[in-house]
Amino acid sequence: MAETILQTVSLRRTFGPLVAVDQLDLTVEKQQFYGFLGPNGAGKSTTIKMLTGLLRPTGGEVHILGRNLATDSVEIKRRIGVVPEGLSLFERLTGAQLLNFVARMYGLPRATAAERSAELLEFMDLADSADKLVADYSHGMKKKTALAAAVIHGPEILFLDEPFEGVDAIAATTLKRLLQRFIARGGTVFLTSHVLEVVERLCSHIGIIQKGRLVASGSLEELRSGVKIAGHDHSPLTLEEIFLQVVGGARQDAEVLSWL
Amino acid sequence: MVLLLWLRWRLFLNSMRRRGRTAELGFQVLGVLFGVGFMMTTSLGFFAATIGLVRIARADLLDLLLWAIFLVWQLAPILFEGYSPGLSFREIARYPVSFRLYIFLSLVYGLSDPAAITALLWLLSVWLGIVVARPEWAFIAALPLLLFAAFNLLLNRIVIGLFERFQSTRKGRERMVFVMFMLIILINLVQLNASNWAQKRGPRLPPWVGQTITKVREFSPPGAALRGFRDHGFPEVYAFSGLTLYAALAFLLLRRQLRSLHQGEIYAEAYQVHHELKVRKGWTFPLVDEVTAAIMEKELRYIRQSARMMLQIIYPPVIFLLVAFNGVGRKNLFAGRSQALLPGAAVFILLSIPNLSYNIFGMDKEGFGRWLLAPLSLRKVLLAKNLTHGGILCSIYALMAMAVIATTHVPPALVLTVTVAFLAILIIQLSAGNLISVYWPRRIELTQMSSKLSSNAAGLVAMLVFFPLAALVGAVVLAAWYWRLPWLPLLSGAVALVAGVKLHSFLLDRAASYAWEHIEEITGNLGA
Q: What is the ipTM of this complex?
A: 0.90
Q: Do B301 and A97 touch (CB under 8 A)?
A: yes
Q: Which residue in B has a C-alpha nearest to residue A99's C-alpha?
A: B279
Q: Model confidence over A136-185: pLDDT tens digits? A: 898 889 999 999 999 999 999 999 999 888 778 888 888 888 898 899 99
Using the Cβ of A100 and the Cβ atoms of chain B, whether some distance falls under 8 Å is answered with yes
pLDDT, residue A233, reads 66
Closest among A178, A169, A160 to A120, alpha carbons compared: A178
Cα diameter, chain B: 84
Contacts of A96 in chain B (CB under 8 A): 277, 279-280
- pLDDT for residue B403: 87
**Backbone phi and psi for residue B416, each to the nearest 5 degrees, phi listed first:** -65, -45
Q: Give the nearest chain A residue to B293 (CA atoms).
A: A104
Q: Closest Cα of chain B to A86: distance in Å?
A: 7
CA separation for the pair B253, B103 (Å, rounded)? 12
pLDDT digits (tens, 9 = 90+) for A90-124: 998 999 999 999 999 999 999 999 999 999 999 99
Enumerate residues 146 to 165 of chain A having a beta carbon within 8 A of any beta carbon in chain B: 149
Arithmetic mean of pLDDT over chain A:
89
pTM of the entire predicted model: 0.75
Residue B295: list chain A partners with CB under 8 A.
Answer: 105
Question: How far is A110 from chain B, CA to nearest CA, in Å?
Answer: 6
Return all residues near B69 (Cβ < 8 A) that are at least 6 apart.
Answer: B119, B122, B123, B126, B152, B222
- Number of Cβ within a 10 Å radius of residue B400: 21
Per 3-state DSSP, chain A is made up of helix, strand and coil in percentages (nearest 5) of 40, 25, 35
Query: Given CA atoms B271, B274, B275, B280 in this order, what sign does their dihedral have?
Result: negative
Distance from CA of B386 to the nearest CA of A (A): 17
Contact B277/A118, CB-based, under 8 Å? yes
Chain B interface, Cβ < 8 Å to A: 170, 269, 271, 273-275, 277-282, 284, 290-291, 293-295, 297-298, 301-302, 305-306, 363-370, 372-377, 519-520, 523, 528
- Taking an 8 Å cut-off on Cβ atoms, the answer to whether B274 and A55 are in contact is no
Task: Tell whether the model's pLDDT for residue A34 goes beyond 70.
Answer: yes
DSSP state letter for A235: S
Cβ-Cβ contacts under 8 Å for A159 (sequence gap 6 or more)? A48, A51, A52, A80, A81, A82, A83, A84, A190, A191
Distance from C-alpha of B371 to C-alpha of B90, rounded to nearest angstrom: 37
Each residue's pLDDT expressed in tens, for chain B with a length of 528 residues: 677 777 767 776 776 665 555 555 666 677 778 888 999 999 999 999 999 999 888 888 888 999 999 999 998 877 765 444 455 666 777 778 889 988 998 898 888 888 899 999 999 999 999 999 998 888 888 999 999 999 999 999 998 888 877 777 777 777 777 777 777 777 777 776 666 666 665 556 678 888 888 888 888 999 988 887 876 666 778 888 999 999 999 999 999 999 988 887 766 555 555 567 778 899 999 999 999 999 999 999 998 888 778 888 888 888 888 777 766 666 666 666 778 889 989 998 988 888 889 999 999 988 999 999 999 999 999 999 999 999 999 999 999 999 888 888 889 999 999 999 999 999 999 999 999 999 989 888 876 666 677 777 787 888 888 889 889 999 999 999 999 999 999 999 999 999 999 999 999 999 999 998 898 889 888 876
Q: Does A102 touch chain B (CB under 8 A)?
A: yes
End-to-end CA distance of chain B: 36
